Amino acid sequence: MMFKNFSILIFSVCVFISCNTEQKPLSVTPDDYNNAVDKVTEVIIHDIFSPPVASRIYAYSNIAAYEVLAQNHPEYNSLAGKLNGLGETPKAENPAVNYDVAALIAQMEMAKSLIFSEDRITEVRDSLYKTWEDQNADELVASKAYGLQVADHIKSWMDGDNYKQTRTMPKFSVNADNPSRWQPTPPAYMDGIEPHWMKIRTFVLDSASQFKPVPPPAFSMEEGSEFHNQLMEVFNVRNEMTAKGDDSEEAAIAKFWDCNPYVSTHKGHLMFATKKITPGGHWIGIVKIATKKNNADLMETVYAYTKTSIALFDGFISCWDEKYRSNLIRPETLINQYIDDSWTPVLQTPPFPEYSSGHSVVSGAAAEVLTEIYGDNFQFDDDTETAYGLPVRSFDSFRAASSEAALSRLYGGIHYRAAIDEGLKQGRQVGQYIVSNLHMKNDGEALSHSGN
């Protein structure tokens, strides 16, 4: 009897060990993907990429992931033939491929190739590889091979976007003889950032100038002129905010949407960079908030990131095309020259021309895409800036958030009214064009949502 019970025990142990050494299917959750995108944002901040360049990092890495997943989700369309110059994505030939794993691998590989601090992505990737290898080595090998194959396909397409060529183009020349033209601003007096960004290939727009805004008001320092009135509005709003104190609603809005990765702080003879999220990074954070609130699965999550990052990318190209065409001087420069040499804006002025407002353009574009996906009454609490010591702000819709983001530039003292209003209009035109022309779902783009 004792021998029989012992045999049963040995058999049970063997079955237990056998079951637990058996390879398990690998899985990737929406949170895994959110964490991967968060890591990209972290590296963008660490490496201090400019807002336009940051939008490129988000876009290509998300597109790579999307192209993998779309092969396994017939309700979603490949972006081949839909984005300018993108050819057909390779199909997976190995039936052992796990598309979710391959998508995350493609995203990480693209991100790693686009940033400086590659080790920060590599560390996360290698940790995942170790976990996956222990669970199912065969599935990992097949998925890794396919993910890297798609990443190579996207890299090959990306190489034709003219980015590399713009790295060796001349710096922006300041025209100091023309009082209306942009000049570097304090405290760092940096050169104009990305003066050739309009030469980058767009994704969906026909050209950088497709949604060229109306020109800004004609430069004039004559009292009563439209331009002078808008300059004085910036000056007066700042003074009114000073009278209200640092805890005013206007100051809170300005600081919440600052998103300037070039903020410099002086300590004695030294200057330090205060690293912050970019405008695009803020909207990528809003995508995370929306997908989590909607309990999105992995495919929907990647879809929302991808379409929003495409809108941000084309929005920056459209905006930068106008910035270096109109080449308009910033309010801070004129106020210091003509009105009050001790005046400073609430926010540090970014290093590029004034018109149109970049925040306004990309916020308008992103909001249109997110409104298409989740509806016009999607209430959300934006905690994107809590990492920088700022409180949560709540919005009744993406468009309401984009309007506040645009207005924040007036409260910040860095844009005239025209750049804000026309920039928001410009961005919404970009976003609406993408909504109308980039069809990524077979059954219409809108998803059921829980935002009401």
**Is residue 159 within 8 Å of residue 17, measured between CB atoms?**
no
CATH entry, 25-161, from 3.50.50.60, 3.40.50.720, 1.20.144.10, 3.30.230.70: 1.20.144.10
Q: What would the pLDDT profile of 199-248 be if each residue is shown by its tens digit? A: 999 999 999 999 999 999 999 999 999 999 999 999 999 999 999 988 89
For residue 54, the tally of other CB atoms under 10 A from its CB is 29
Q: What would the pLDDT profile of 384-413 be if each residue is shown by its tens digit? A: 999 989 999 999 999 999 999 999 999 999
Lowest mean pLDDT among 270-274, 329-333, 347-351, 437-441: 270-274
- What whole-number distance in Å separates Cα of residue 147 and Cα of residue 129? 13
Q: What would the pLDDT profile of 39-50 be if each residue is shown by its tens digit? A: 999 999 999 999
Q: Where are the domains of the chain?
A: 25-161, 181-437
Q: What would the pLDDT profile of 228-238 be if each residue is shown by its tens digit? A: 999 999 999 99
**Topology given in CATH for the domain delimited by 181-437:** Vanadium-containing Chloroperoxidase; domain 2 (1.10.606)
Amino acid at 373: I
Cα dist from 208 to 83, 181, 213, 280, whole Å:
14, 21, 11, 18
Q: How much is the CA Rg of the chain, to the nearest whole Å?
A: 25
DSSP string of 125-147?
Answer: HHHHHHHHHHHHHHHHHHHHHHH
Percent composition of the chain: helix, strand, coil (DSSP 3-state, to 5): 55, 5, 40
**Is residue 405 within 8 Å of residue 366, measured between CB atoms?**
no
Share of the chain above pLDDT 90, in %: 87
**What is the pTM for the complete model shown?**
0.93
CA 353-358-362 angle, to 5 degrees, is 160
DSSP string of 146-159?
Answer: HHHHHHHHHHHHHT
- Region 303-313: what's the mean pLDDT? 99
